[in-house]
Structure 1
């Protein structure tokens, strides 16, 4: 049997060969730039900070009941206990990327009341709230860190549910044969926390307005930040995912533009400088069309340094100590650009001349990004291994 002069075996073999040529080599780490068209509509907002009110479940009330049955008209007390209320648990999850899905109030279920014939009420299920890895749990309105969830599956009890009340059967004793009392269920805790992501992206794009940060993010990922020819088109941070042919995914963040005086809350202010704090490394995006590249870099670093001195908490990593790289955008405007001279001017920082609009020079930049991501993964593994003994003893 043949199909267009080909046997089924030949058709199967050609399909396998075509498939094998398209499957990525698992031993390489090359970036895969987006080729598909982006969907229509606005991008989902990225949330890396959330104030959450945790309401635990109340315990069920105990029951006062006496057995009345055929042949046992005075069977005695048989009131059951109420069920326990559910806890509110924050659980670190590697597949959760931000805090967008968490509402301002999270509430666990209440326990069921006790019933007659010694039927105890059901315990309510605990409410598991998934949070990204390296999420800080702070006291509401304070900078005090209560716990950091950096281990996959690690749990922090945000609010404890109330205990179920005892029924009158619980109080049966030789001295008291007909107890007429039962307990009310305990009230669940109501606690408020500030959830803050310590790391929201591997790299953050830092630059002045209209430097091409949003265009660069659209070029390397399928994120859809707004792009226009006027300042402050990006009012909230956008996070895009860069794909590699070994199926690894690396996050990169577009931070709203910084202007002179940002550390004094000028422009979009200090709240967006704090977004930069949640990136492991910084990519300074310089606009080639503005000229004076060293002055642009010096102005950006000055704002970050002043922020470190005035606003940054003492227990956080300084912005100036983060790994950095220079990205010179709009390089297509100057075909005679001397990359070697620029690299020597910004040494020892690595320099990448790219054109986000034309898609040029992106691969070396993304390879550097992957190196930073691999270093971060190794740091996390070492941190988990170093605290393994303390974690086992504590829990």
Structure 2
């Protein structure tokens, strides 16, 4: 299945039904008077968050969504039937913008959450509403109003508590495969990961936490270089960033600075997001513990936090790393509950 995280669609609410001009023509009821009913309300276009969707692929081929029109009013003061709403399912995490003004319309995060994006038109009044002392037989009715029409831009931002970031080939996909049941494509060349991968990692308590493996960032990603700029939005929702640095690269310290600078340049508070820093692939330097320790010490001095040394391939150090992940998430949950 293709991973599509942006789409533009057109939505249009249903037209309201026209009011009716009618008069009572019943036996034994002389001068029955006006009896034209009102038109029914047009249906609305509604977006609904669904758990079973992971991509906006459906909107690549279908761009126009219309709700049903309301029905014309009937005789004997009968109101026309309202048009049915058009309900469109979108993945949880979909952000909705007005494509013309770029205004934020809504953010669908929770399963079952709904957002009306195009209201149906109001039904027209039948001639019964125009009865007066001066006009006992009005032959006037109003047409139904058109439904709201809008152009929308949909953006999917993955819902994950932990985002795994780093340069290409830092071992992000290998790590998420080691921690969860996710099986992303893994190879020894840059940009193996072309789309974000999600994996559910089980806490010791048995609860599941969603981790997202974000495709590799490179220098200038926030300006549109490489692949990472396409997926920076997906770490906006994460509560914690797990930053992997490849200890076998030519300059791990420069790699660290590159990612930090991209987070700062992108903005939206990503640079201030809590981070855990881990040096990956220590199995490749198993015979050179002094080098590992020296690089870890430099990174600790730069970041001001503890640096974990791990190997996603051999699983060395993963248990200690995950203990720290759970500790920070629990602290954040406790803080959030105390604030609310």
Displacement after TM superposition at 1:254 (Å): 1.4
Displacement after TM superposition at 1:225 (Å): 2.4
Displacement after TM superposition at 1:149 (Å): 6.2
Question: Does structure 2 conserve the Cα–Cα contact (< 8 Å) formed by 1:46 and 1:237?
Answer: no
1:76 to 33, 37, 56: 33
Displacement after TM superposition at 1:235 (Å): 1.6
> Could you tell me which residue of structure 2 aligns to residue 220 of structure 1?
179
Q: Does 1:320 align with 2:263?
A: no
CA distance in 2, matches of 1:119, 1:294: 76
> Could you tell me which residue of structure 2 aligns to residue 266 of structure 1?
225
What is the TM-score with the length of structure 1 in the denominator?
0.70
CA deviations on 1:305-363 (whole Å, 9 max, x unpaired) are: 3x24xxx4xxx32x321111122222333335467665543323233333323344333
CA distance in 2, matches of 1:249, 1:46: 25
Displacement after TM superposition at 1:379 (Å): 6.1
Distance 1:52 1:202, change over 3 A: farther
CA distance in 1, matches of 2:15, 2:144: 6
> Could you tell me which residue of structure 2 aligns to residue 61 of structure 1?
18
Displacement after TM superposition at 1:60 (Å): 1.5
CA distance in 2, matches of 1:107, 1:346: 55
- SS of 1:290's equivalent in the other structure is coil
Count residues with an aligned counterpart.
Answer: 332
1:355 to 311, 314, 324: 311
Q: Which runs of 5+ in 2 are unaligned?
A: none
> Could you tell me which residue of structure 2 aligns to residue 283 of structure 1?
242
Displacement after TM superposition at 1:291 (Å): 5.3
CA distance in 1, matches of 2:180, 2:307: 21
CA distance in 1, matches of 2:337, 2:93: 13
- SS of 1:279's equivalent in the other structure is coil
2:167 to 195, 200, 208: 208
Displacement after TM superposition at 1:163 (Å): 0.4
CA distance in 2, matches of 1:279, 1:304: 13
Distance 1:365 1:179, change over 3 A: farther
Displacement after TM superposition at 1:190 (Å): 1.0
Q: Which runs of 5+ in 1 are unaligned?
A: 1-41, 386-395
Distance 1:176 1:217, change over 3 A: same
CA deviations on 1:47-93 (whole Å, 9 max, x unpaired) are: 3x4444332222112222233344447533322111112333456x6
Distance 1:210 1:56, change over 3 A: same
- SS of 1:114's equivalent in the other structure is coil
Which aligned pairs between 1:64-143 and structure 2 lie closer than 5 A? 64-72=21-29, 75-90=32-47, 100=56, 103=59, 104-127=63-86, 136-140=95-99
> Could you tell me which residue of structure 2 aligns to residue 158 of structure 1?
117
Which aligned pairs between 1:186-197 and structure 2 lie closer than 5 A? 186-196=145-155
Question: Does structure 2 conserve the Cα–Cα contact (< 8 Å) formed by 1:134 and 1:197?
Answer: yes
Question: Does structure 1 conserve the Cα–Cα contact (< 8 Å) formed by 2:50 and 2:89?
Answer: no
- SS of 1:320's equivalent in the other structure is coil
1:331 to 274, 279, 282: 282
- SS of 2:263's equivalent in the other structure is helix
Displacement after TM superposition at 1:230 (Å): 2.3
Q: CA RMSD in A?
A: 3.6
Displacement after TM superposition at 1:164 (Å): 0.8
Displacement after TM superposition at 1:134 (Å): 7.2
CA distance in 1, matches of 2:325, 2:195: 22
Displacement after TM superposition at 1:279 (Å): 3.0
Displacement after TM superposition at 1:94 (Å): 9.3
> Could you tell me which residue of structure 2 aligns to residue 369 of structure 1?
325
Displacement after TM superposition at 1:271 (Å): 2.8
What is the TM-score with the length of structure 2 in the denominator?
0.79
- SS of 1:232's equivalent in the other structure is coil
1:345 to 263, 281, 298: 298
CA distance in 2, matches of 1:382, 1:111: 49
Question: Does structure 2 conserve the Cα–Cα contact (< 8 Å) formed by 1:136 and 1:195?
Answer: yes
Question: Does structure 1 conserve the Cα–Cα contact (< 8 Å) formed by 2:191 and 2:216?
Answer: yes
Distance 1:379 1:141, change over 3 A: farther
